[in-house]
Amino acid sequence: MNGTKRKAKKKSHHHLNRPNRPNLAAIISAVTATANSFLSQNDLTLLPSQTLALESLIASTSHSLSTFLSLLPKPFDPLSLPPSLPPPQPQCWFRRFLSAANTDSRWLHAFRMSQPSFSQLLDQLSPSLRSALPQIAPDCALAAAIFRLAHGASYAAVARRFGISLAESCRAFFAVCKAVTNKLGHLFELRTNSERVVVGFGWSSSLPNCVGVLGLDKFAIESKILGEDGFLMVQALVDSEGRFLDVSAGWPSTLKPETVLRQSKLFLEIEESRELLQGPSYKFSDGSLIPQYVLGDSCYPLLPWLLTPYNRVNEEDSFGSAERAFNCAHARAMGLVGDAFGRLRIRWQILSDLRKWKGECVEYLPYVIVTCCLLHNFLIKCNEPMPVKEVTIVEKERADDVASDGVVDENAMRIRDALAMHLSRANLRG
């Protein structure tokens, strides 16, 4: 008798402690519905980064809830699941955003630029966008693409906010990228305003006749087509104010930096066609002349127009004062490349370090990078505030001061030595 009671008590106790899974699902469902309602009512008050994060959490929770309910024993009366996304408003987010009294700070959060800068950009791109996208208003197409670049938002998230279809969201993005590269290409000023660049380096860095700083950055991809930790490289020439002067994007990580350099349009226009860096030489106080040149990272070869830092041949070797002065100025200048790429990634989150591009999308990445670089230059021209740099420079592959054929370029060494002596004398005067 007592044994029967103990069994019954144990069974009852087990029943009471078993989780009430339908009630748990109901609670999760109610919380998700509340979050959806909150998002729907406050999508103009919250920052875009906040609404995107909340949407992602709601969608993830709804998916998990559906999976949980599918595991419950049958028969089961399914709960009415909340939608994974907030219900659509009578008017899309973008039109309501335009109607609201928005300050420049709201525009900066949403589109990384003030309303006047957006209007100026729209004026330049509208004819191209009307031709390419007759079914979408130019301001909507431009804002949708800029929003995706700024936040790394999915095409679906963009479509919801701008009242367009998924396919239209994709078409608008690439139409804007094409319009930017076609209409703003002159903002890569190496070929159009190199005199300004030379003056800028002479004034800010005491580097006479310098026409830019050349470096590389890496963009991770998910595909293993380039190996386990494959990436695409971007070679960029940057001026003293952080503008991009020349960009060559999409080089596979299987190539050496010197190979990238020699196959780039920049190299061909300097070495073969002689279209670039043909300005007058600069005369130092000791009478030596230095032609126009570019500073390059040590992963590049030392050339008469591409000056890399001094490297020790042996560990016990030490640098003289001129070599130290040059390497110090060189290191400061190379920081301009890291700063430019860092600000590019912060402003345009589609290029964030936290994001890896999927294999099927890799072919579009160079196109997107060039678009972001041109917009970066456009916003500098509009005097938009620079985003704060929060990323570190990736350590690059090192190389010797020896050309690929193993022969030291004597003329390049002479030019670098002359600049090093000038910088050393300037340090003593300073």
| Same domain? 248 vs 177 | no
The mean pLDDT of the chain is 83
In the block, which residue shows the tokens 């479509």? Answer: 159
pLDDT digits (tens, 9 = 90+) for 266-290: 999 999 999 999 999 999 988 889 9
pLDDT digits (tens, 9 = 90+) for 70-79: 666 655 454 4
Distance separating alpha carbons of residues 393 and 353, to the nearest angstrom: 11
Handedness of CA 239, 243, 247, 249 (dihedral sign): positive
Beta bridge partners of residue 425, listed in sequence order:
none
pLDDT digits (tens, 9 = 90+) for 192-251: 899 999 999 988 778 999 999 999 999 988 877 776 778 899 999 999 999 999 999 999
Residue 338 belongs to what domain range? 188-365+385-428
Q: For the CA atoms of 358, 364, 369, 372, what is the dihedral angle to 10 degrees?
A: -110
| Same domain? 171 vs 229 | no
| Same domain? 141 vs 272 | no
Asked if the structure places residue 211 within a domain, the reply is yes
Distance separating alpha carbons of residues 304 and 293, to the nearest angstrom: 7
Confidence of residue 386 (pLDDT cuts 50, 70, 90): confident
Asked if the structure places residue 65 within a domain, the reply is no
For residue 369, what are its two tokens?
């990078």
More confidently predicted of 296 and 70:
296
Which residues touch 364 (CB under 8 Å, ≥6 apart)?
Answer: 174
pLDDT value at 58 more than 50: yes
pLDDT number for residue 220: 87
Distance separating alpha carbons of residues 16 and 29, to the nearest angstrom: 23
| Same domain? 178 vs 242 | no
**289-292: long-range contacts, CB 8 A cutoff, minimum separation 24:** 289/418, 290/208, 290/209, 290/415, 290/418, 290/419, 290/422, 291/209, 291/415, 292/194, 292/198, 292/209, 292/210, 292/211
pLDDT number for residue 166: 96
pLDDT digits (tens, 9 = 90+) for 107-127: 999 999 999 999 999 999 999
pLDDT value at 257 more than 50: yes
| Same domain? 240 vs 294 | yes
